[in-house]
């Protein structure tokens, strides 16, 4: 595919990272105003925030904290550091932890898998402490691990002091950060993500329901977690899929269990009604070939470092235009992953997104005769261009 053909096709296939506010007045109704302290609606594929209010405000997350506890546990399982069937001895510290409980007994042994279910479905504080101690040795050490993971994920308004979400002045997060965490959970480990859709968990003769009411009301919802303390109010992180599009909705600080479900439903309904998302090219797909001087080959394949995904108000594709440019006089050696050009996406005359084009393969330096011949060609090329 040559550059001109690519540019024409890209006009229809580019990701829009522009705030929906730019379109709201002309094309779509304003987003719903929720009875919540903060909220965010994010597209799971692109990571674009579609609706937000106080999205970066630092607030107590209550049991939404357990999303990080569970995320780290599944990460440790995938790394082979712990096994799902490993027995975990319940400490007195874990057994005495107050709040919502899985009702594990001090001195008993519970598998990692059962504890994970107890954390996600039953919101067990005792299970969260037991698993954190098994992974890191203590709650404090696990909190350090949580905060390192916060940094890795780019959660800039989050700091954890414990694995449960029990109140602490230095324990906080934001609606935007919780959406980032939910997106990581969804994309990185689909097998364990299935736990979040389970409506109840039966353990040790006790059956407890998942507190996410939307699992019963909306068949497209398949997660994630609720939270509540007097300080935090009623919070929820939810996700749903309709017609191949997945959205993540986060609400902080509603006034009841029923309200957090209703306010979340408003966000999801608005997002699915007025936005669309599609991935047209995956990272690493060849989009064009660029000329290379003084190399073992005279061309290099160009592509994108990340998926070409777009999230935008429905019907806005026709307003976008894009172009691709290559860096002038690419000269070997070129390493795989080197930036060799750029794609710019415009709405009217405004650049709304740009993305680097990278080399999909390495190009080694050519032999002495190839380098000499290309040097001569470059000399005359410079004279006439």
Q: Which residues are catalytic?
A: 63, 66, 123
| Whole-number Å distance between alpha carbons of 39 and 57 | 10
Alpha carbons 33 and 267: distance in angstroms, whole number: 9
- Picking from 244, 278, 250, 255, the residue whose alpha carbon sits closest to that of residue 266 is 250
Taking the C-alpha atoms of residue 240 and residue 265, their distance in angstroms, rounded to an integer, is 10
Q: Enumerate residues 6+ apart whose C-beta is below 8 A from 240.
A: 214, 218, 220, 221, 222, 246, 247, 249, 268, 272
Q: Report the candidate in 66, 57, 37, 184 with the shortest Cα–Cα distance to residue 125.
A: 66
> For the chain, where are the alpha helices, taking DSSP H only?
3-10, 21-27, 66-78, 92-96, 112-120, 125-136, 139-153, 175-188, 190-193, 214-217, 257-274, 368-384
R_g over Cα of the chain: 25
CA distances from 369 to 204, 297, 324, 383 (A): 77, 13, 32, 22
Output the CA–CA distances (angstroms, integers) from residue 155 to 166, 172, 183, in the order listed. 20, 11, 12
Distance separating alpha carbons of residues 241 and 249, to the nearest angstrom: 12
Task: State the Cα–Cα distance between residues 69 and 136, nearest whole angstrom.
Answer: 11
Q: Which residue, 117, 147, 115, 150, is CA-closest to 129?
A: 115
Contact between 239 and 190 (Cβ < 8 Å): no
Angle at 373 between CA 367 and CA 287, to 5 degrees: 75
Task: Look at residues 170, 125, 121, 129 and name the one whose alpha carbon lies nearest to residue 150.
Answer: 170
């Amino acid at each position: 595919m040559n550059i001109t053909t690519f540019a024409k096709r890209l006009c229809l296939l580019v990701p829009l990272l522009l705030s929906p506010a730019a379109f709201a007045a002309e094309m779509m109704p304003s987003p719903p105003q929720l009875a919540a302290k903060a909220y965010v609606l994010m597209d799971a594929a692109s990571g674009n925030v579609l609706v937000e209010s106080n999205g970066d405000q630092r607030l107590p997350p209550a049991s939404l904290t357990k999303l990080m506890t569970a995320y780290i546990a599944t990460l440790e399982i995938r790394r082979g550091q712990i096994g799902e069937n490993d027995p975990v001895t319940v400490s007195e510290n874990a057994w005495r932890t107050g709040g919502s409980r899985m009702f594990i007994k001090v001195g008993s042994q519970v598998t990692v898998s059962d504890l994970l279910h107890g954390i996600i479905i039953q919101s067990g504080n005792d299970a969260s402490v037991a698993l954190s101690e098994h992974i890191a040795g203590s709650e404090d050490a696990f909190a350090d691990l949580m905060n390192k993971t916060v940094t890795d994920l780019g959660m800039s308004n989050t700091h954890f002091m414990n694995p449960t979400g029990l109140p602490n002045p230095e324990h906080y997060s934001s609606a935007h950060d919780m959406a980032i965490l939910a997106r990581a959970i969804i994309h990185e480990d689909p097998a364990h993500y299935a736990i979040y859709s389970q409506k109840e968990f039966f353990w040790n003769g006790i059956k407890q329901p998942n507190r996410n009411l939307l699992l019963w009301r909306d068949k497209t919802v398949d997660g994630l977690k609720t939270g509540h303390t007097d300080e935090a109010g009623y919070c929820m992180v939810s996700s749903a899929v309709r017609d191949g599009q997945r959205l993540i909705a986060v609400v902080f600080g509603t006034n009841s269990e029923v309200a957090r479900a209703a306010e979340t439903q408003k966000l999801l309904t608005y997002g699915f009604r007025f936005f669309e998302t599609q991935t047209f090219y995956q990272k690493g797909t060849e989009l064009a070939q660029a000329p290379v001087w003084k190399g073992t080959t005279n061309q290099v394949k160009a592509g994108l470092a990340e998926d070409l995904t777009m999230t935008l108000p429905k019907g806005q594709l026709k307003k976008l235009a894009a172009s691709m440019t290559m860096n002038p006089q690419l000269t070997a050696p070129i390493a795989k992953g080197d930036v060799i050009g750029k794609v710019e996406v415009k709405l009217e005359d405004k650049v709304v997104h740009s993305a680097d084009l990278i080399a999909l393969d390495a190009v080694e330096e050519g032999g002495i005769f190839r380098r000499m011949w290309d040097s001569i060609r470059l000399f005359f090329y410079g004279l006439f261009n």
